[in-house]
Each structure stands twice: as structure tokens, then as C-alpha cells.
Amino acid sequence: MTLSPDDARAFFSLWYCIDAFVSQRRAVAPGFETPAQMRGAAPATVVRIRDVLWSDPTLLDAFVAENPFDLPADDLETAAGFRHAVKGRFYVERILKAHAVFVAATGKQVYFVRGLSERIDDLLARARPVGYGSMVETVLLPFRGTIVWDGFPIVHNISFGPGLRDTFKDAYRTAKARGEIVQSLGGAPRAAPLPTKGPDWGPVVAGLARAADGLGKPDTALQTASFRLLKQCAQLTQHTLDEPADEAALEASIRASRRALKHLEETFARLGSR
């Protein structure tokens, strides 16, 4: 779910040029006015330069028109495509094998996003131990037919309850069913709707999962164990409905369900031996 090493090098090389141009043109960071200097810039310096760039889109137009570092036509075309960048807040709803699922904070758009040279979940895990399921503020960019982020996210330390998590999950599932997941920026066609294989059980299972989460306090140890198993099985069923399957999450849910079943069996055995 990252760019290939060659694509990552090409991405960073282009941005060293753009950042250097912006820094020089607007005197943002003296001493960082060439691509070579930008290679050694601290993240805070790069963020200051990018803030200036995104506040004035004409700087990107000027970079493409002037081509100050004599870039080839392909690189200029890629740079021009950055006009279609999407800046905002996104909920990282899940991590799939090839992409991370970003849902706009408004819930109106869903994106497949790839990391640069580092996996998105690895970076988020350092910023916030829970990893994905995070709200991030970042810039999404088109690059060679896919969507990447700019690599400088602000990770908001926000806790999400079951209701809000379900809202973003439903937004993803709806966009997937309708073929509306955005996989490229700049007017390229979206993915075709997935073929219909039968009833959409997603809303039904989501309702069961919410009902299981809303169960009150059990009266007995046996009920406690059975409620735990019910919740785990509901979560497991939700994972089996995901296409493409998140294999790591599915395996973790299976293990959790087994533990819940074992706990129920042990609880029943203890009560029966009295």
C-alpha cells in the first residue's frame, strides 16, 4: 500500500523542486531554495512551505510555466496535476492490502489512498497507538494514476464512539456498492460498481452489531460470557462482508471469537461443577 521505490523517489524529487521554488519565490525559508537544500529540510520547514503553496494555487501554475529546474515534460504534467489536490480532514476507516480507506469528515467522499515510502498505518501507529480509526488532516494528491497523501498529516487525538464509527463504515460500504470510491483525482473515471451477488446484508449485520453493543449489564456470569461472544461474532460477521477482505482484521476477529467461546465454555463448566 505504498509507492514502488522508483515511484517514491520520483515523487520526492519532484516535490524538492516545487518546495524550493515556493521557498525562493516567497522567501519562506532562507537557505532552502534549491532541490538539494530541500533534501535536508526538517519536516517543520517543509510544512511551512507547503502551507504557503496551498494558500496560493498560482504558485503551482508559475512553477509549471517557468520550469525553473528544467524538468522533463512528464514531471511538469505531474506537477500540473497537483492542482487537483484535496486538502481536508479524513477518517482512516480501515487499512486494506493495497490502500487505506479515507472517508472525508463530512462523510460525502471516500478515497483509496496509498502511502509514499512508509505504510500509512505504520505512521499513524507512531502518532496514535490505536493506528487506523484516526482523524487526520492532510492533503491528498494525484500521482501516476493513484492517490497518495503528502506525508505530513496532523493526527487528531479524538476518540470515536460506536455510532460515529458506524457512520464512517456505512459511508465506505455505500460508496463501494455504488462504485463511488475515488481512486484518482483530476476527472479520471471512478471504479465500476461491484456486481450484485445477492442481498446487501451490511445494514442488517451493522444493526445487529449496534444492538449487541447496546446490551445492558448482564445479571449472571454466564450471561456476561455469552454477551461477549455475541459481540465478537457480530464483529466477525461484519469483517466477512468486507470486499476486498481485510485479512489481518478478519484473522484477529476470528481469534477474538474463539477466546470468547472458550471463556463461555469455561464459565459454564465452573457453574456446572458446583
DSSP string, 173-212: HHHHHHT--B--SSS---PPPPPP-S---HHHHHHHHHHH
pLDDT at residue number 198: 59
User: CA-to-CA distance for 199 and 27, rounded, in angstroms?
Assistant: 59
Buried b (16+ CB within 10 A) or exposed e, 38-63: beebeeebbebbbebbbeeeebbeeb
Categorise residue 151: left if φ over 0, alpha if ψ from -120 to 50, beta otherwise: left
Higher pLDDT, 141 or 192: 141
CB 63 within 8 A of CB 79: yes
135-153 residue pLDDT tens? 999 999 999 999 999 989 9
Mean pLDDT of 173-189: 85
State residue 190's pLDDT score. Answer: 47
Q: Tell whether the model's pLDDT for residue 194 goes beyond 80.
A: no
What is the tens place of the pLDDT at every residue in 22-68?
Answer: 999 999 999 999 999 999 999 999 999 999 999 998 999 999 999 99
Give residue 187's pLDDT: 61
Whole-number average pLDDT of the chain: 86
Question: How much of the chain is in helix, strand and coil states, percent to nearest 5?
Answer: 50, 15, 35
pLDDT in tens, 254-273: 888 888 888 878 887 887 76
Residue 162 has pLDDT above 60, yes or no: yes
Burial of 19 (0-12, 13-18, 19+ CB in 10 A): buried
The radius of gyration computed from the CA coordinates of the chain, to the nearest angstrom, equals 23
pLDDT for 155 beyond 50: yes
3-state secondary structure of 102: strand
11 pLDDT above the threshold of 80: yes
Assess whether pLDDT exceeds 60 at residue 164: yes
Q: What is the pLDDT of residue 260?
A: 81
- Label residue 243 by pLDDT band (50, 70, 90): low
Lowest mean pLDDT among 38-47, 80-89, 217-226: 217-226
Confidence (pLDDT) at 268: 77
pLDDT of residue 132: 54
Q: What is the pLDDT of residue 248?
A: 66
* d(C-alpha 107, C-alpha 77), whole Å: 31
Q: Fill in the DSSP letter of residue 57.
A: T
Specify whether the CB–CB gap between 26 and 58 falls below 8 A.
no
